[in-house]
Structure 1
Amino acid sequence: MTIRAILFDHDGTLVDSEPVHFQMWQQILERRGIRLNEEMYKACYAGKPTDANAVDMVERFHLSGSHEELVSEKSTATQQRLKSTAFSLRPGVKEVLHYLYQRGVALGVVTGAGRNGVDATLRDNALHALFSTVVSGDDVDASKPAPDVYLLAMKRLGLAASQCLAIEDTEHGVKAATGAGISCIAIPNDMTFQHDFSKATAIINGFDDLLVWLNV
């Protein structure tokens, strides 16, 4: 295997967090008299950064408050959830991470969201030692689909794009990775399967299929 590093998105990729984020947004909008159904969430909000979703919601639903207020409420709800428990890992994640680490592949988390979710995942699943770098939206000016988080991850690892592979679950994530010149494998979840993954090198069903694709 010529790939030296595999860079994983967090929400929706390593962890099954989208249903929880959907419920949080539902509650926030319900307090404003807006009903957000699953179909609209999948079409408009799944896999996108909190700030981008908040801006869209204020405009789409003609809310009187600012998008910063929505961001604050969402961040508070997420932090309260993560204090008690991290998001659940997607099936096969822990086994695949340990296998790749043992094979000498450098592992990274590259998320457009804040660092707190990643920290909770690594803490509750004892995964800190496996990762060479963690880059979050807190570390850059422009979050996904801008390539900044991936460019920073490569800089920290001292690797070229051709030496890395990205794993993403959303159209925005694939655009961010490929925008940095990194080949990307898409592993959609139930909330993102309808996204446009035309820029991805391959679309696979789960983490077991990732090892098959890598031929390791």
Structure 2
Amino acid sequence: MLKAILFDHDGTLVASEQIHYQLWLETLAPLGLSLAKAEYDRHFAGMPTRANAELLAGRHPQTTAAELLAAKGDLTRRFLAEAAFPLLPGVARTLARLKAAGLRLAMVTGAGRHEVAASCRAYGFDSLFETIVCGDDVHFGKPHPEPYLLALSRLGLDKDQALAVEDTAHGLASALAAGLGCIAIPNELSQGHDFSGAAAVLADMDAACDWLLSQGR
């Protein structure tokens, strides 16, 4: 029986991926480096910041992952000090409908706790999600299954009692590796990803909500 829905954060609940891309460009610019949008969409969207920093440092030996992580983190904190990432359409309605249906909610994200804290302050996520797994909570981020396995452990649920909602192939892979069913809501950056393993691919959050509620009947 379906008891819980586990949501990704960036690109699923909030419109942050395009902002993250711009922040990465600002991080790389002082080093004389850039990152093509198509490359970001294919390999970086949906990945934890640390993993992206390691990938970039591996390509550009003039810097290190630690330096990139610190610079990107500083830019992100400055952005979030002034504004939270925008809430995506249908999210507030969906969370309210799922809660009203008696489903438990959790967030599973590769984002740092400071990023999620901004969303919690702006949108009251603390009162909606029973547990929030951040990138700081795990040794291995998505697409590794650890984030979703930790969420299930905190909720005290088996994998067949929950479903995940993701927007990227990396997030989908994490959920599937944890043994969860997962639906996908592709966005502009991830529409070219391979979602063949998803239980369903939906156009938007409202359609996803209808699909999720139909599974509990």
TM-score > 0.5, shorter chain as reference: yes
Give the Cα–Cα distance (whole angstroms) in 2 for the partners of residues 132 and 190 of structure 1.
29
Q: Which residue of structure 2 aligns with residue 76 of structure 1?
A: 74
Aligned pairs for 1:51-200 (under 5 A) are 51-60=50-59, 62-200=60-198
Does structure 1 retain, via aligned residues, the 8 Å contact 2:49–2:111? yes
Give the gaps of 5 or more residues in structure 2.
none
Q: Which residue of structure 1 aligns with residue 10 of structure 2?
A: 11
- Over the matched positions of the two proteins, sequence identity in percent amounts to 46
Give the gaps of 5 or more residues in structure 1.
none
3-state SS in 2 of match to 1:184: strand
Give the Cα–Cα distance (whole angstroms) in 1 for the partners of residues 127 and 85 of structure 2.
19
Does structure 1 retain, via aligned residues, the 8 Å contact 2:49–2:110? no
Give the Cα–Cα distance (whole angstroms) in 1 for the partners of residues 160 and 36 of structure 2.
40
3-state SS in 2 of match to 1:193: coil
Alignment TM-score, normalising by the size of structure 2: 0.94
Give the Cα–Cα distance (whole angstroms) in 2 for the partners of residues 72 and 23 of structure 1.
16
Q: How many residues are treated as equivalent by the alignment?
A: 214
3-state SS in 1 of match to 2:190: coil
Amino acid aligned to 2:49: T
Give the Cα–Cα distance (whole angstroms) in 2 for the partners of residues 59 and 152 of structure 1.
29
Offset of residue 215 of structure 1: 4.3
Does structure 1 retain, via aligned residues, the 8 Å contact 2:15–2:85? yes
Q: Which residue of structure 1 aligns with residue 32 of structure 2?
A: 33
Q: Superposition RMSD on alpha carbons, in Å?
A: 1.2
Amino acid aligned to 1:46: A
Alignment TM-score, normalising by the size of structure 1: 0.95
Does structure 1 retain, via aligned residues, the 8 Å contact 2:98–2:213? no
Offset of residue 126 of structure 1: 2.1
